[in-house]
């Protein structure tokens, strides 16, 4: 049995799986190209991180462009200065004011610590029908020292000049010291111009603390 055959055999298990020793820095350094389709997409690339500190709002005004077809925002422990809704709006290219037209749909699941209340309902007071207000994505987030909300927002192909811009969000909130809220919001920004900026704020008061990360999805 030749050297190459022995080396190969020594680096594969009896079930046909490569051992960690089959790969080293030299083997990867010698790779000059990867065939198209050999590597799956879906990787997240961290583009920006912002941390709130008694912030009136947090805006991402750069980095949203045609580089990625999907952008995802991750929210960790968004804590309001006073009980309020957590919201967002966007600007189309060249626009200001964060007042683009949105049509959206919202539903919420909730459950109390005592188990006395559990419900799944459509939130007609939180949706928009061609509205230009900030869209609620986290509902009634309380301001207690241990209360906050966390979640994510997906914005799809914001640089398209053909289609409206779809979004989806999912948030978990700790409310009134006793209740778990799970808010689901989806909709579209009714604008075929590129969306280049996004802003997050509470419906009243400041964002006392929390981090927001912006990712590009390959």
205 neighbors 80 (Cβ within 8 angstroms): yes
Phi, psi of 189 (to 5 degrees): -90, 115
Q: How many domains does the chain have?
A: 1
In a domain, 99, yes or no: yes
The torsion angles phi and psi of 155, rounded to 5 degrees, stand at: -120, 120
Question: pLDDT tens, 74-93?
Answer: 999 999 999 999 999 999 99
Is residue 49 domain-resident? yes
Determine the pLDDT at residue 14.
Answer: 64
For residue range 21-72, list pLDDT tens digits in order. 665 655 556 666 555 444 445 689 999 999 999 999 999 999 999 999 999 9
**What is the domain-level CATH number for residue 90?**
2.60.120
Quote the pTM value: 0.81
Give the integer Cα–Cα distance in Å for 202 and 187. Answer: 19
C-beta separation of 138 from 85 below 8 A: yes
Residue 26 within a domain: no
User: Tokens 């500190």, residue?
Assistant: 53
Instruction: Report yes or no on 36 lying in a domain.
Output: no
Half-sphere exposure of 135 (CA within 13 A, CB side): 32
Query: Can you give the residue range of the structural domain that contains 61?
Result: 44-217
pLDDT (tens digit per residue) in 162-208: 999 999 999 999 999 999 999 999 999 999 999 999 999 999 999 99
Q: What confidence score (pLDDT) does residue 37 get?
A: 45
Residue 12, pLDDT > 70, answer: no
Q: Is residue 30 included in any domain, yes or no?
A: no
Distance CA 106, CA 171 (A): 11
């Amino acid at each position: 049995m030749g050297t190459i055959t022995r080396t190969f055999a020594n680096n594969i298990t009896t079930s046909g799986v490569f051992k960690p020793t089959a790969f080293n820095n030299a083997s990867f350094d010698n790779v000059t190209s990867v065939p198209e389709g050999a590597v799956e997409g879906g990787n997240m690339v961290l583009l920006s991180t912002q941390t709130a500190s008694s912030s009136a709002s947090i805006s991402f005004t750069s980095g949203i462009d045609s580089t990625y077809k999907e952008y995802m925002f991750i929210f960790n422990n968004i804590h309001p200065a006073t009980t309020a809704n957590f919201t967002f709006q966007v600007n189309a290219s060249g626009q200001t004011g964060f007042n683009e037209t949105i049509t959206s749909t919202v539903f919420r699941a909730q459950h109390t610590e005592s188990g006395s209340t559990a419900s799944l309902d459509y939130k007609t007071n939180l949706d928009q029908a061609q509205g230009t207000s900030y869209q609620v994505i986290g509902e009634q987030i309380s301001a207690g020292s241990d209360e906050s909300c966390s979640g994510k927002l997906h914005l799809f192909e914001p640089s398209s000049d053909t289609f409206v811009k779809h979004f989806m969000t999912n948030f978990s909130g700790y409310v009134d010291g006793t209740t778990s809220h799970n808010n689901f919001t989806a909709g579209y920004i009714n604008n075929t111009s590129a969306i280049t900026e996004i802003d997050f704020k509470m419906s009243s008061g400041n964002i006392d603390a929390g981090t927001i990360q912006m990712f590009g999805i390959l």
